[in-house]
Amino acid sequence: MKKRTLLSMAMVATMTVATFAGCGGSREGTTEETATTETEATTEEASADTAATDMPGFEEGATIGISLPWLGTQNWKEAEEMFTTQLEEAGYTPLVQAADNKVTQQQQQIESMIENGAKVIVVGPVDGSQLGSVLEQAKEAGVYVIGYDRLLENTTGVDGVVQFGSVKTGELQAQALLQGLEEQKGEAPYNIELFGGGPADPNAPNFFKGAMSVLQPKIDDGTLVVVSGQTDFTQCATVDWDNAKAQSRMDSLLSGFYSDKEIDGVLCPNDGIARACITSCENAGQDIPVVSGLDAENESVEWVWQGRQYSTVAKPTEDLVAKTIEIIDSLQAGNGMPATEVTADNGVIEVPVYELPPVVVTKDNEKEVFANDPSRLELLK
């Protein structure tokens, strides 16, 4: 991501060092983001526009709609619980719904939120490109729309998005994979396979892009060997982030390409897919490969501590929820969307992005990362 000021560059450098503290590595180099895949720098005018608004504040106790894609993973369940509790504590009336990964259902739920007088609707989209019409209805009704965790694409009906850096997340996953291979698998070359997330999720291609910016040079120089030859996102994507589909693909890769080879590592875009790939390898009689992950799900937090999964990336739900409610408070007070120096091109407009830093987690730094998270810390025994 490109930042406009030396101060911002210094902040990025600081987070870069801190992120790999305790992991014995560093993040060297950044990905050059394109307009369609990752956040990019704003102009000074865009920063000023971010803080401006023609819309007034709204009354205390107002209804706030929260539209989540599903509750099938720990992070979305946490979001449902935290939004419900913390919005109530902040004096709002929460209307929290999940769409069971169905676009039509999410469209209907957002329409209902508009009809029920929601002043703000927070949307974690099932498919970020398929909600344009209903989000523009919200805008016409005077409702603020905030994207949550995922970019809302191809629409003017969005005021901002709160998320963790998705290209940076992919970079961290790849760097952890390389570090784990060096620590656990001896000298190169290393046989690896690549997995991506759900293609409908705008973060998934960005995770893969960030990872490949780190891994492709190592593939080119022979350090890494993708035995199957499957290196494009379309080949590696996992529809609906479905763990069973990932395990089935891993089964096929092992039977087709590793009958006489050992697999050393697997790039996995989240913890569920990581556990599915590890299980597949164990079922095939392979030694456990070095595997990346994402979301710091409880089971994977335990697996990292036990040495079964090498790494995960923490994107604390409480931080995303807190940042989102901070923005809602600004809107309620009549102060508009807070200023930000980062935007993303959603295909129609530049969307203000409120971006938080992800943190890679290995056994070496796990207790440090979760020092203020009693529930996860309890798992490290």
Task: Write the DSSP symbol of residue 119.
Answer: S
pLDDT surpassing 90 at residue 143: yes
The predicted model gives 315-319 an average pLDDT of: 95
* Residue 377 to residues 5, 125, 240, 302, Cα–Cα distance (Å): 37, 31, 30, 10
Dump pLDDT digits (tens) for 199-234.
999 999 999 999 999 999 999 999 999 999 999 999
- HSE-CB for 344 with a 13 A CA cutoff: 29
Please provide the size of the chain in residues: 381
The domain made up of 166-315+361-377 is a member of CATH 3.30.1330.90: no
Classify residue 149 by burial, with Cβ atoms within 10 Å: 0-12, 13-18, 19+.
buried
Boundaries of every domain in the chain: 40-158+317-356, 166-315+361-377
Dump pLDDT digits (tens) for 23-55.
333 323 333 333 334 444 443 344 434 444 456
What is the percent of the chain where pLDDT is above 70?
Answer: 86
> d(Cα 31, Cα 169) in Å, to the nearest integer?
11
For residue 204, the one-letter residue type is A
- The answer to whether the 40-158+317-356 and 166-315+361-377 domains have the same CATH topology is yes
pLDDT surpassing 80 at residue 16: no
> d(Cα 333, Cα 126) in Å, to the nearest integer?
30
Over the range 4-19, which residues count as b (16 or more CB within 10 Å of their CB) and which as e? eeeeeeeebeebbeeb
The pair of three-digit structure tokens given for residue 82, joined into one six-digit string: 């935290």
- Superfamily in which the 40-158+317-356 domain is placed by CATH: Response regulator (3.40.50.2300)
Q: Find the Cα–Cα–Cα–Cα dihedral 144, 150, 153, 156, rounded to 10°.
A: 10
